[in-house]
Amino acid sequence: MDTNIITPEGYTELEQELDYLWRTERPEVTKKVTWAASLGDRSENADYQYNKKRLREIDRRVRYLRKRLDAVRVSEYHPSQEGKAYFGAWVTLMDEEDNTLLFRIVGPDEIYGKKHYASVNAPVVRACLGKSVGDDVFIKTEEATREWEITAIRYDTPL
């Protein structure tokens, strides 16, 4: 599966994070490092040590985001996807005990800190790809194989 895909919203979020880190947070931390360094002995200066470490973390994340934004391909919705579970879809599953599972199919960069987002690489998503409402999907876990029915697929908003 192509793991270098992302929704337009996900791409925008990564761009905003990069912009914030580079234009806002990095200059603030750089000022703190400069100030702390001006105080003298850096070996026992907690402000200097902490902010220098934070500056390295910011720089590492900025490098990663720049490379990642160049590598990913934005996948836009196309009307031909309607009625089937593809990238960007909100999918609702129901099992025989009326338990429901709701998730949006997104790229691996988009799942962190978000409830109801599932990577296109997740087993539950792979089982659903290309299926329609009413189709059964079988998801293998360590304990057993569970059967779910796709009860809804939408591309605009969560169900």
- The pLDDT tens digits of the residues spanning 113-133 come to 889 999 999 999 999 999 999
From CA 155, how far away is CA 76, in angstroms rounded? 11
pLDDT digits (tens, 9 = 90+) for 23-49: 999 999 999 999 988 887 777 888 899
Do 65 and 29 have their domain in common?
yes
From CA 2, how far away is CA 126, in angstroms rounded? 12
Q: Which of 41, 74, 107 is the last residue of a domain?
A: 74
Average pLDDT over residues 71-98: 92
pLDDT band for position 60 (cuts 50, 70, 90): very high
Backbone angles phi, psi at 134, to 5 degrees: 95, -15
159 is a domain residue: no
- Cβ–Cβ < 8 Å for 87, 11: no
- The letter for the amino acid at 146 is R
**Model's pTM, two decimal places?**
0.83
Question: What pairs with residue 103 in β-bridges?
Answer: 91
Range of the domain at 60: 5-74
**The pair of three-digit structure tokens given for residue 77, joined into one six-digit string:** 């919705």
Do 17 and 58 have their domain in common?
yes
The 8-class DSSP code of residue 108 comes to G
CATH number at residue 121: 3.10.50.30
